Amino acid sequence: MLNLKIIPIIILAAAFVFTGCSDSTTGADDAPVSEIDIKTVENLHAPFDRENPGSTPFVYFNLRTGEIVDAAEAESDNWDIGFRGTSIIINAGSSGPGNAGVVMIDVPFDEVSIAPSEGYRQDSADEPAITGNGGWYTYTGNGNPPRAIISHDDTTIILKTADGNHFAKLNIMSYYEGNPDYGTEEFANFQTRPASQHFTFKYAIQLTEGLRELK
């Protein structure tokens, strides 16, 4: 059973406090107002059966609504990012009909304040826009801990949504159920290591169309 928990925070760029956060915008009265929605998604189960890949479709996620999208809508722009095993796709290029795009940067999530204006990549038959080993994670092989997927704290995935109108930043916090501590003996031991293919990630999305501010 999917144990999915989403923790939302909204930051409005206005002259009042909302959910304990505040921001302000200067300029003309009719200037767009920044509205940033910050969410943490816990334990999104995205399995992949290597022996029978057709039995495990991607889990599609809409960053704008913070909801999983039924696989029947895979050919729409109603999803932005998809998960399956260690593979992550976006709704663009070879993976979908949308206009999503990705820029990956080695900057901590909290330090990213604005989305780039250009340089966005889309999925291709040769390579996904969100790269795996060496991109959002490192596979340890025979290292310590052995044969583990270690997500990168300082890698931020900047996305343009499938409708082409919104920008978001995202960090994969863990590939294991419960977001465990990688440095424990429990995690190093295969018998006690939590189940993989359970994503915990945080993201911030700009809900005002066209604005690139993310902080």
User: pLDDT tens track of the chain, all 215 residues?
Assistant: 455 777 766 655 432 232 333 344 445 567 899 999 999 999 999 999 988 888 899 999 999 999 999 999 999 999 999 999 999 999 999 999 999 999 999 999 999 999 999 999 999 999 999 999 999 999 999 999 999 999 999 999 999 999 999 999 999 999 999 999 999 999 999 999 999 999 999 999 999 999 999 99
Strand partners, 134: none
Specify the pLDDT at position 54.
82
| CA separation for the pair 203, 88 (Å, rounded) | 15
pTM of the model: 0.87
| Alpha carbons 18 and 14: distance in angstroms, whole number | 9
* Residues 6+ positions from 91 with CB-CB distance below 8 Å: 60, 77, 79, 80, 81, 82, 97, 98, 99, 100, 162
Give me the sheet containing 59-62, strands edge to edge: 67-69, 59-62, 81-84, 87-90
pLDDT of residue 10: 62
Q: Where are the domains of the chain?
A: 5-206
Return phi, psi of residue 142, to 5°. -90, 15
Report whether 140 contacts 175 (CB < 8 A).
no
What's the pLDDT at 53? Answer: 82
